[in-house]
Amino acid sequence: MKKTAQPEYRFAYALMFINCFWMVLASNLFAQMPTINALFPAGGQVGATVDVSIQGANLDEAHTLIIEGEPGITGELFAAGGEIDTTHKELFEQTCTQCHELRSPSNRSMTPAQWEATVDRMINEKNAPISPEDRDKIVSYLKGAARASGGLIARLTIAPEAVIGSREIRVVGKHGASTAWPFEVGGQKEGIDTEPNNTMKEATAVELPLVINGLIGSGGDEDYFKFNAKVEHSRDGAGERYVFNIKAYRLNSASQQFFNPSMALFDAQGKELARSNGFYSLDALIDYT
The whole-angstrom distance between residue 145's C-alpha and the CA centroid of its chain comes to 18
- Separation of alpha carbons 115 and 129, rounded Å: 17
Are 251 and 264 in contact by the 8 Å Cβ rule? The answer is no
Report the mean per-residue pLDDT for the chain: 81
- pLDDT > 60? residue 240: yes
Q: How confident is the model at residue 251 (pLDDT cuts 50, 70, 90)?
A: confident
pLDDT of the residue at 253: 74
- Separation of alpha carbons 105 and 107, rounded Å: 6
**Sequence-distant (≥ 6) Cβ neighbours of residue 207 within 8 angstroms:** 227, 228
pLDDT of the residue at 3: 42
Helix (H) or strand (E) holding 225: strand 225-226
**pLDDT: which is higher, 99 or 258:** 258
CA atoms within 13 A on the CB side of 268: 5
Q: What is the pLDDT of residues 12-41, one digit of tens each?
A: 445 555 565 555 544 555 567 899 988 889
Residue 50: strand pairing partners: 156
- Separation of alpha carbons 54 and 80, rounded Å: 11
- pLDDT > 60? residue 44: yes
**What's the pTM?**
0.70
Q: What is the mean pLDDT of residues 198-222?
A: 87
Q: Kindly report the length of the chain.
A: 289
Q: What are phi and psi of 54, to 5 degrees?
A: -115, 125
Q: What is the pLDDT of residues 74-132, one digit of tens each?
A: 999 887 656 678 888 888 888 876 555 445 454 455 777 778 888 888 888 778 889 99
Mean pLDDT is lowest, of 58-72, 81-95, 167-181, for 81-95
pLDDT of the residue at 117: 83
Measuring CA to CA, which residue among 87, 215, 202, 220 is closest to residue 150? 215
